[in-house]
A and B are shown apart, each in its own frame.
Chain A
Amino acid sequence: MADVRLRGVERRYEDAVALDGVDVTVADGEFFTLVGPSGCGKTTTLRTIAGLEEPTSGTVHVGGESMAGVPPEDRDVGIVFQNYALFPHMTVAENVAYGLRFRDPPEGKSEDERVRELLELVDMADYGDRMPEELSGGQQQRVALVRALAPGPRLLLLDEPMSALDARLRERLRRQVRTIQSELGVTTVYVTHDQEEALAVSDRVAVMNGGRVEQVGTPQEIYHRPETPFVAEFVGKNNRFEGEVIGREGDDALVEVDGTTFRVRAPEAAGRVAFYVRPEALSLGREGKNRTDGEGENRIAVTVETTEFLGDAARTYGSWNGREIVVKSEDVPAGERVVVAFGPEDATVV
């Protein structure tokens, strides 16, 4: 197994920049996810690690070795593409065995043993003689996964492997991938545009935007302590407030936003600041009543616009002073105006 180290990797084209200085370290055995919107450079980064693209500058080290000038077939890397890229003219077994033409199966096993072992791992032991076109999307994805793993690579790369599947299958398969990965201990770099997925399976996440890495951290760090506005808004839903710091009270800053003063936990904030409050941190109450359901020092009156019932929760979209406010609560609120409240510790200044 190996670690991956990218330093200052740039990929420039004649009229565009795909990667604008990427620094990333993936620890040995880690499940590392690159997440970001389309065009942010996550796939390019992955392909650069695989050797399918050459950086215009910067270095790539895998397992401590520089990968400069090393072609893909010599990097000992397994890759699973978004469209699985199974060889349509070979059977499932032949697909899985393909990499074994160039590398011996690990642990001295025979080719057949290795193939069988892997197909069993993904519950497809009886599918060896089928052709790819006979398989469903989920089945193809599993075959693609074990094909990449067959030669026992030191690094596994996955490029949005779930995006062609429906939601339930996606959830099920990503768990399976994660399980296999931790069992085998293979260093894995996973690329997705779905931030929920990124948070769900990864050891660490790198959020990318415009060819740069915005933040690297554990899913919790990314979610609860975003370091840039982009990360704050990209990962999960978030409510943004902008205002001026007009005073301080100990660790808390008093921020005036559109005439309303909010109390925000921000020891070093000063001047113009922006802070975010997660929808689930906002509690709902009904205006005009004397009930104090909405707990928290900061209170605003929000006009409800649409509500979504999510089954185990409800999401309310409303507006306050022209800003969109999103609230996540247990159930759909009644009425057109609600009071939304949050405490100073629920706000994060970015």
Chain B
Amino acid sequence: MQRRAFLRNAGAAGAALLAGCGSAPTGSTDGTLQVATYPSYVDAPSSSAGSYLKEEFDSRFDATLEWIPLEGELNHFIQRRQQGVGIDADVYAGIRQMDLVRIEQQLEEPLFQATPPSELENGGSLKDDYLFDSDERVIPTGGSYVSLVYDEDAVQPETYEDIAESDQDILIPSPPSTTTGRMFLLMTINQFGEDGYLDYWSRLSENLTVTGDWGSAYTAYENREAAMITSYSTDQVYASQGDSPMSRHQIGFPNGQGYSYIGGAARFANTDKPDLANKFLNFLLEPEVQAEMAQLNVGIPATTNAALPEDYSKYVYEPETTVRFSKERLANNLSTWTNEWSEQFASN
């Protein structure tokens, strides 16, 4: 008997075994926009922009915003693509330049489709230096700077050397696993060069604790396990909302430097709602929305005309020098650098 086999991508034909329903997002019905993101974007116990954005969006548009928080974050979609499984979301929120590097390394076909800012009504108000995606797929929605956060009663670090020579401890989330850690690593590479940064880290290692993720580092910092932590320069926005003393939330830029952390959103390449997605991206750039997002997500707006409260700038610090690496340089070197770093740091 001859057989002719039809290979069909299982985007539509997934058969659920054991009567289990698919855990991944199912095909969206009319009028629902599915936006995937990492969990703390929408579900942090302290504050997150998720609820606000949904309420606003739902009220303004004749559509429903459905958040899909995923533990696996972008990797979830990269893996689905690699396995040839369909992607059932329309937009992803919370994309950074390093994520783009990773996507390009792992996938042949782009994950997202282009959304030139010029095609968005509010696109013109985007800050120029926030446009980190030359392929114009990601619309930036907010940012911050990776910097030092420290306790001014214990230390006054001004330079990288101050940090290394201090008798106080510093917490840094692990570079191979976290964006924050990676960015600080890049700052040291920028400062000490590709041949010198490892030496700096070995000097740093005496009073350094590296944690698995940013959350546990910050929790430890809140529990006063250390006097310094690499975190975000907008940290005082958060501190002002809580009851932790401001003295423990001093922002420091070593040698006047801070790494540019910009997050954005993009439409998935195969979304069946490109127009609604466009409306969503545009909505994110509205002045009031940008203002709320900045305050809820503890960051700096991506547009020039965000309707921020007047005293907001008092909590926002910007470094003298913004450290950025190009996508090409990251693509060529980031894995090598993080591997070198891990092999040195975790060596026994």
Direct contact of A and B (CB under 8 A): no
